[in-house]
Structure 1
Amino acid sequence: MPTRTTPAAADQPNLSESDGIRYLHFGTEWIQGAMRIKAPGELVLEYTAQMMAWLLFLAPPKEESIGLLGLGAGSLTRFCLKHTRSPLAVVEWNPQVTAVCQMFFRLPASSRLSVHHDDAAVWVADPQRAGSCPVLMVDLYDASARGPVRDSVTFYRHCRRVLGEVGVLSVNLFGQHESFDRNIENLRVAFDDRIVLLPEIDAGNQIVLAFSGPSLGITPAQLLARAEEVESQYGLPARRWARALTRHTVNGILHF
């Protein structure tokens, strides 16, 4: 299994700021994360908000953890700490990214937060992680920021095992990159074709949800009602996501 132990020069974190927003980079112009300086709990980048679309199908876990593979600028970590009471397990291979998040991106110290400095592929492959995170958000990009650095069928199968009997995986893909079709096929294989795609956003990101557990059959009205709850509670554009997902309707039922 491939591992990474020493950050390359291109993976050294650095910062930029514009219009009150601080950005994280890995030695290139590609943005790896962002924080509004006066509102650090806000999800600045649209794709990070879409990563939370699992809320349409699951409530935040009470005992098991929300898993995040890839820390970035800590946006999703800060959001989940603020809006849920779930424990958070973050996997970030580069300790320098964690240090930068603590110093410049207000990554809080919390008894609910554990950061594991490990290769995500190694972390999910550990049998002891099975069933530990019914929610898993995967955002694994290097300095080139064009395609995920972990995307094999084996990797996604291990992610499914981490979800346990009932869970949702959200993955950040880049629709305009050659890796996109490979990732979709690998996710289909690993999750028995139980995946749905949210619409690609202007920046090119496309979020994919994958499901473990019993098949879901719900009406568009039920999904929209849940979306209204999510939008009210978390301030996320959940009704927009729900409307996009209604394209999966078959005989008046949405299947996931």
Structure 2
Amino acid sequence: MDEPTLSEHEGIRYLHFNTEWIQGAMEIAEPAKLVLEYTAQMMAWLLFVPPPREPQAIGVLGLGAGSLARFCLKQTNCTVVAVEWNPAVTAICQTWFKLPTSSRMLIAHEDAAQWVADPVQRGVCPVLMVDLYDAQAQGPVCDSVEFYRDCRAVLGERGVMVVNLFGNHDSFPRNMANIEAAFEGETALVLPEIDAGNRIVLAFRGMSPQVEPQLLLARAEEVERQYGLPARKWARSWLGLTRGTQD
């Protein structure tokens, strides 16, 4: 298993897997803040669906430094199910990244591909955030059509899968093709690539993200007010792409 290691700089604590690649980050003074831009973008599902209610949960494949789990626990009343194959990552998150011990925080130490393939998980997470990288961080470790089809099943009849990809890596077109095949032609939205190279993809099941521009902007204002996320920027980007122009 990859060995988790730490570094700190200017009040930010970083998680690595014994390489220079950053696997997650936390602002020490404000642990629930989403430090890395791509982690904030992974919350863009809030523009389209509300946080799930019991007995359903928010799913996180790949715990990393626990950023998404901490944010969701603080900002929503949802249960968060994190799937992390390496118990050492969980231990370091609890010790050094202030991952809360809570009845709403469930951690499964399993291979993510096996977890989503288990029929028991069908429909348990209408929101599923997928961020699965190894020590080299060059492409997702799970990216087959079968994997994404199983993720779609975890959503149930209606939901959103959010995936962290790298736009400038040769894995990107393969992942996009596999997501589109697994979701059987349903809509996928892609946020513009950020400076670090990440591209966040949202794939929808049983719903359409195509709404009136004013409704989307109004929802973005509400998400920005309630969660402190730059949602209007995301909405304008999508509306710009829809018009065939850059925002």
Query: Could you tell me the TM-score, scaled by structure 2's length?
Result: 0.96
What corresponds to 2:48 in structure 1? 57
- The one-letter amino acid of 2:142's match is R
| Preserved contact between residue 220 and residue 249 of structure 1 (Cα < 8 Å) | no
| Preserved contact between residue 159 and residue 206 of structure 2 (Cα < 8 Å) | yes
What corresponds to 1:99 in structure 2? 91
What corresponds to 2:28 in structure 1? 37
What corresponds to 2:3 in structure 1? 12
Q: 1:18-39 CA deviation, whole Å, 9 max, x = no partner? A: 0000000001000000000001
| Preserved contact between residue 68 and residue 136 of structure 1 (Cα < 8 Å) | yes
Which of 61, 65, 79 is 1:69 aligned to? 61
Residues 1-256 of structure 1 mapped to structure 2, 5 A cutoff: 7=1, 11-63=2-54, 64-193=56-185, 194-247=187-240, 249=242
- The one-letter amino acid of 2:39's match is T
Number of aligned residues: 241
- The one-letter amino acid of 2:119's match is P
Q: Which runs of 4+ in 1 moved over 6 A?
A: none
Find the aligned partners of 1:132 and 1:216 in 2 and give their Cα distance.
Answer: 21
Name structure 1 gaps, 5 residues minimum: 1-6, 251-256
Shift of 1:216: 4.3
- The one-letter amino acid of 1:190's match is A
Name structure 2 gaps, 5 residues minimum: none
Shift of 1:248: 5.2
- The one-letter amino acid of 2:120's match is Q
| Preserved contact between residue 134 and residue 163 of structure 1 (Cα < 8 Å) | yes
Find the aligned partners of 1:51 and 1:145 in 2 and give their Cα distance.
Answer: 17
What corresponds to 1:254 in structure 2? none
SS state at 1:218 partner: coil
Quote the RMSD (CA, aligned, Å): 1.0
Shift of 1:146: 1.2
Task: Name the % identity.
Answer: 66
Find the aligned partners of 1:218 and 1:181 in 2 and give their Cα distance.
Answer: 26
Find the aligned partners of 2:51 and 2:67 in 1 and give their Cα distance.
Answer: 17
Q: 1:175-203 CA deviation, whole Å, 9 max, x = no partner? A: 11111110000011111232110000000
